[in-house]
Amino acid sequence: MYHVSMDSNWFSISQEKRTAIKYISENFYPAKYMNRWRDFKEISYKLSEIVKLYSSTQITEEIEHFEFFKQYFNEDTLDLPLPESYIKWFDSMLLAFRHGNIDEIASRFHMITEGILATVGLKILNETSMELPEFNFNIKKIIEDEARHINFGFQIIMNPNYAVNRIEELYPYAEDIIKDGMKYLEPIGYSWYDLRKLMLELKEARINKLKKKIMSAN
């Protein structure tokens, strides 16, 4: 995913679509806020050394995703403000990473951040970038990576009952983050009703898979 160039027709698509794509992309690469969460990388690699199942491959892929968005938007900088709901979410997730409780990390990161927020964001980016071949090609690759990361999250959860409860408790924060971005998404045809429906479906899918894990252990 390195040496990416912006599509030559980027500035030919509508301003509303460009702004929406940039806003969602900034959720994946929060350029203005990177120093705020700079500890993530070091802590993640430490976890990969301590926890046998915490894969360094996943961490490397996440860094590659950052690099894609950073390089693609080199000519049209990602500089939109992210909502307070997003900032609070990642502040709390960094605390979880520092504490090192893998079930808490997997619930927050793999089940909610990747399993709901990133899944919704990538779906929108994929749908809105069909006329941007370079961007769309890489988004499809990221979607494949994220699917593996979510499945990896299921593998490292040791207490699925805990994870089910945490997903239910944390889910409203995910709704807040998507709601706070609707001013960018509504102009390009996305409704809160439809996105919330998708989010609830994703939440239930994660919970149902964990419940199967509980049943198979009994």
Which tokens sit at 34? 């990177």
Condensed to tens digits (0 to 9), the pLDDT of residues 133-180 reads 999 999 999 999 999 889 988 988 999 999 999 999 999 999 999 999
Condensed to tens digits (0 to 9), the pLDDT of residues 17-70 reads 999 999 999 999 998 888 888 887 777 767 766 565 556 677 778 888 989 999
- Distances in whole angstroms, Cα of residue 77 to Cα of each of 19, 23, 30, 86, 169: 11, 11, 11, 20, 35
The burial class, CB within 10 Å (0-12 / 13-18 / 19+), for 63 is middle
First to last CA, the chain: 43
